[in-house]
């Protein structure tokens, strides 16, 4: 089924970084499989507005298992009253693994939203950080950037489907944007989460789209 977009739609590319690819510090399942499709989509200039998010952590970030004595990656702890997964050290500021993937022509990119730079707060969504010590989720400014350009629809893809892509899509919808997710241009940390992610998206009213179905209106 085709999905028609116009100049009021924006593409959001979530965390397409080497550390999330096979061989990277926090590899997603088949993460590198999305690179050619994203590169092709950007070269086609289908979207007038294109934004990338970039995980950008300092050393010793609170989400790193190595920051917590005796903890192992993928353990869960309570942080500010919320569940927090502890991750391997990844996307450390200034390292090659934190860069935007070199296999993509990024010349169509309008803006980059760096997230996770607060050492004490994790950040999955491109729109809002995770809960901080005050119980709030600070905004990144992305929603305002989009609204100032007349955007009322976002289409999300990237990594990881079951974490940062999902949270970005959910926040976009909650903030009033019509929201779609390019399923074929996302991959999960683990594929066992796919059924639950798919069901969550549909239940919340987020459109699931394939890149080949995009059409300019």
SS (H, E, C) 98-135: HCCCCCCCCCCCCEEEEECCCCCCCCCCCCECCCCCCC
Domain count, the chain: 1
* Catalytic residue selected from 28, 91, 157, 164: 164
**Within a domain: residue 85?**
no
Task: Please determine, for residue 1, whether its predicted confidence score (pLDDT) is greater than 80.
Answer: no
Q: Give the domain CATH number at 35.
A: 3.40.50.850
ω into 160 cis (within 30 of 0): yes
pTM score:
0.96
Task: Please determine, for residue 202, whether its predicted confidence score (pLDDT) is greater than 90.
Answer: yes
Are 216 and 46 in contact by the 8 Å Cβ rule? The answer is: yes
Task: Please determine, for residue 196, whether its predicted confidence score (pLDDT) is greater than 90.
Answer: yes
**Within a domain: residue 46?**
yes
**Within a domain: residue 18?**
yes
Task: Give how far Cα 81 sits from Cα of 77, 84, 202, Å.
Answer: 10, 9, 28
* Catalytic residue selected from 32, 55, 115, 162: 115
Q: Scan for tokens 């300092």, then name that residue.
A: 58
Give the Cα separation of 50 and 47 in Å (integer): 7
**Within a domain: residue 88?**
no
Nearest to 14 by CA among 139, 116, 144, 94: 116
Q: What pLDDT, on a 0 to 100 scale, did the predictor assign at position 215?
A: 94
Answer yes or no: 157 catalytic.
no
pLDDT tens readout for residues 31-74: 999 999 999 999 999 999 999 999 999 999 999 999 999 999 99
Question: What is the pLDDT averaged over residues 120-143?
Answer: 95
pLDDT tens readout for residues 150-174: 999 999 999 999 999 999 999 999 9
**Within a domain: residue 157?**
yes
Are 54 and 115 in contact by the 8 Å Cβ rule? The answer is: yes
Please report, rounded to a whole number, the percentage of residues in the chain having pLDDT higher than 70: 100
Answer yes or no: 164 catalytic.
yes
**Within a domain: residue 131?**
yes
Task: Please determine, for residue 217, whether its predicted confidence score (pLDDT) is greater than 90.
Answer: no
Q: What pLDDT, on a 0 to 100 scale, did the predictor assign at position 60?
A: 97
* Catalytic residue selected from 15, 32, 89, 171: 15
Could you tell me the residue range of the domain that residue 8 belongs to? 3-57+100-216
**Within a domain: residue 50?**
yes
Answer yes or no: 91 catalytic.
no
**Within a domain: residue 83?**
no
Question: What is the pLDDT averaged over residues 120-147?
Answer: 95
Assign 145 a pLDDT band (cuts: 50, 70, 90): very high
Task: Please determine, for residue 130, whether its predicted confidence score (pLDDT) is greater than 90.
Answer: yes
């Amino acid at each position: 089924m085709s999905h028609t977009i116009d100049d009021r739609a924006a593409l959001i590319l979530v965390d397409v970084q080497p550390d999330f690819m096979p061989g990277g510090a926090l590899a997603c399942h088949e993460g590198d499989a999305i690179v050619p499709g994203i590169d092709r989509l950007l070269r086609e200039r289908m979207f007038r507005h294109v934004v990338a998010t970039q995980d950008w952590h300092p050393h010793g970030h609170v989400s790193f298992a190595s920051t917590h004595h005796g903890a192992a990656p993928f353990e869960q702890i309570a942080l500010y009253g919320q569940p927090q997964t502890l991750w391997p050290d990844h996307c450390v500021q200034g390292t090659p693994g934190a860069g935007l993937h070199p296999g993509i022509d990024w010349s169509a990119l309008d803006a980059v939203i760096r997230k996770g730079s607060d050492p004490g707060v994790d950040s999955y969504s491109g729109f809002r950080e995770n809960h901080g010590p005050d119980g709030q989720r600070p905004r990144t400014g992305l929603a305002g950037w989009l609204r100032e350009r007349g955007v009322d629809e976002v289409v999300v893809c990237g990594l990881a489907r079951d974490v940062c892509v999902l949270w970005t899509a959910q926040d976009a919808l909650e903030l009033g944007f019509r929201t779609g997710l390019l399923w074929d241009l996302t991959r999960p940390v683990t594929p066992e989460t796919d059924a639950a992610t798919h069901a969550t998206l549909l239940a919340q009213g987020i459109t699931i789209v394939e890149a080949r179905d995009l059409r300019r209106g």
